[in-house]
Amino acid sequence: MESDYDEDRGTWTEEMTRTEDCSGEDNFDNPQEILNECLDKFKTPDYIMEPGIFAQLKRYFQAGGNPEQVIELLSKNYTACAQMANLLAEWLILAGVKVTDVQAMVENNLKDMILKTFDPKKADKIFTEEGETPAWLTEMIQHPTWRSLIYRLAEEYPDCLMLNFTIKLISDAGFQGEITSISTAAQQIEVFSRVLKTAIAGFLQNTEDWQSSIQECAKMVCHGQHTYVYSQVLLQILAQESRGGFMMKRLSQEITKCAQQNHHDVTPITMALNGASSSPGACQALASMLSRNTLNPADISVLFRNYSTAEPPPIELLRNPQFLELLVDALFKPGVKINPEHKSKYIYLLAYAASVCDIPAKKGHSRKLNKDELKTTIQAIEKVHNICNINKGSTELIAELQTLYQSIRFPVVSVGVIRWVECTVTEPSYFKLCTEHCPVHLALLDEVVVCHSLLHPKVLQLLVQLFESKQDELEILVQLEMKKMLIDRMVNLLSRGCVVPVVCYIKQCWQRGDTDVSLIRYFVTEVLEAIAPPYTVEFIHLFLPMVEDEEITGTMRGDSDNDLVSEFIVHCKAHCPTIR
């Protein structure tokens, strides 16, 4: 710590040189005023430790100050606060406390003091008097402890120039990934751009837990109108790239959804970015429904006429997630009534958005519309809509299984089936009245899982919702059987490629301790029977702790190593170096 003091003393010498020009600006017509000002400063405790001491001494002597007086004041008011802190730290280290612990004590105490006494006006004054970036500030931002302090202060004092400049320095130094405070990043476009870039990169790289990455990114983008418009325009440009553009489009749509959930009306911005200017009629009809979050026959008829012409508006207008969800609810949600005269228009618009390939005109190439799958998609939606619209029991549905299974091959129909199944099986009395081991509605989800891997998260979300739902009207044993049946559906999901999310969820249930251990054991047994090596390191780290737990698999192990549990453990320890 003595070396730190010597370094600081060297820094003061440099500052004295730098402040020579500034000290020459004093008005020596009134030297007594300068003397009084300097003496007031010299009377403050430990002023001799202040970085500006040399500049003040020079002013004092140039104004004719008495050396004896200044020596007396500085020595009399020297309390050696910093040196005492250093001495106590040395004693603690000699007493056996770890150096890192002592350093953390000193830093945390200093942080608390700064947070209590920080004055943004004084900080700005010191900053402007320097005339350039202070050396101590450049060194300070290299340490995580002080960067975290800057973030907290910047959040509390967003108008402080010194803090805003320091945030930019931190971003320039490559630490933009740490700037999690949106209000801090949004103050400067350069800083926000870097933080946004880091968030987008995180979304692209985090393929397993992409939902949380989207939420983090959306929270930042939706901070204010300026951040939202800037980010969406940027994402719109990136979405036009042939490589990875569809991922940027998805991110943009998820951010729009987040903004709507936070009760922001971003419809005009969405319309403008999706080519509204070229089709004012269609845009007005769509914007009207999106703003109200409700479909109406008049606007649907306007859209139908526009998209039935030889030169329809851009398909991007229709491919608005909010609008598509409204259409899916209208056609597949039980109990929703549509005017029979307009039903075909609803079906046409949903099928058009899902199946038509619209390639915009480019240099030397005219616009291309591929409607080859439109007719068959319309027919599939219509057939399943007619089944879903009538409240049929499980026995009646068996007669429609062939039609349902054939139509589920169409992704848009599968989305509608999931919505229909969700509304049906979440009825409070559904499982009470159900007599089959596996209800037909949930068996349909198995087929959706087989046909469409992109819908796995939606199916898992519904299965989790059912698994955690309260079924107090059922007997305990019946509840356990129902949950085993849901675990069977999850294992089917796992076998079709949705491995990490399913295992993560069951592991969370086990760690929380709110799930009967027999259900965890059932899941482990089913998975062990379904899997075979090789296994990824991630899967082993997730699944092995449950397999090794004596309470879960103790009764499943035999005297030899020929049982599934022992074979899995032996294989993992032999092929995964981190487990040995």
Tell me if 455 is assigned to some domain. yes
Residues 193 and 259 placed together within one structural domain of the fold: yes
Cα–Cα distance, 222 to 232 (Å, whole number): 10
Q: Which residues of 310-344 are buried (b: 16+ CB within 10 A; e: fewer)?
A: eebbbbbbbbbebbbebbbebbbbeeeebeeebbe
Tell me if 424 is assigned to some domain. yes
Tens-of-pLDDT digits for all 580 residues of the chain?
444 444 444 444 444 444 444 444 555 567 888 888 888 888 888 888 887 788 888 888 888 888 888 888 888 888 878 888 888 888 988 888 898 888 888 888 888 888 888 888 888 887 776 667 777 788 888 888 888 888 888 878 877 888 878 888 887 787 766 765 556 666 677 778 877 888 888 788 776 666 777 777 887 788 778 888 999 999 988 888 888 888 888 888 888 888 888 888 888 888 888 766 778 888 899 988 988 889 999 999 999 999 999 889 888 888 888 999 999 999 999 888 888 899 999 999 999 999 999 887 777 778 788 899 999 999 999 999 998 887 666 677 888 889 999 999 999 999 999 999 999 999 888 888 787 788 889 999 999 999 999 999 999 999 999 999 988 888 889 889 999 999 999 999 999 999 999 999 999 999 999 899 999 999 999 999 999 989 998 999 999 999 999 999 888 877 666 788 888 988 888 887 766 5
Residues 464 and 525 placed together within one structural domain of the fold: no
Residues 294 and 385 placed together within one structural domain of the fold: yes
Tell me if 42 is assigned to some domain. yes
Residues 315 and 414 placed together within one structural domain of the fold: no
Q: Is the bond preceding residue 534 a cis peptide, omega within 30 degrees?
A: yes
Residues 284 and 352 placed together within one structural domain of the fold: yes
Tell me if 467 is assigned to some domain. yes
| Closest residue by Cα to residue 196 from 222, 160, 225, 157 | 222
Task: State the distance between the two ends of the chain, measured CA to CA, in whole angstroms.
Answer: 43
The count of structural domains within the chain is 5
Domain-ending residue, one of 35, 61, 79: 79
3-class state of residue 31 by DSSP = helix
Domain-ending residue, one of 497, 527, 546: 497
Tell me if 113 is assigned to some domain. no
Q: Give the other-Cβ count within 10 Å of 138's Cβ.
A: 12
Residues 484 and 512 placed together within one structural domain of the fold: no
Which pLDDT does position 450 carry in this prediction? 95
Residues 327 and 385 placed together within one structural domain of the fold: yes
Beta bridge partners of residue 359, listed in sequence order: 368
Where do the H-state alpha helices sit in 293-400?
297-307, 315-318, 321-332, 340-355, 374-388, 394-398
Domain-ending residue, one of 235, 264, 293: 264
3-class state of residue 362 by DSSP = strand
Residues 375 and 310 placed together within one structural domain of the fold: yes
Tell me if 479 is assigned to some domain. yes
Which pLDDT does position 483 carry in this prediction? 94
Residues 249 and 280 placed together within one structural domain of the fold: no
pTM of structure: 0.69
Which pLDDT does position 139 carry in this prediction? 84
Tell me if 115 is assigned to some domain. no
Which pLDDT does position 182 carry in this prediction? 57
Residues 278 and 386 placed together within one structural domain of the fold: yes
Residues 224 and 200 placed together within one structural domain of the fold: yes
Tell me if 32 is assigned to some domain. yes
Residues 295 and 382 placed together within one structural domain of the fold: yes
Domain residues for 528? 507-579
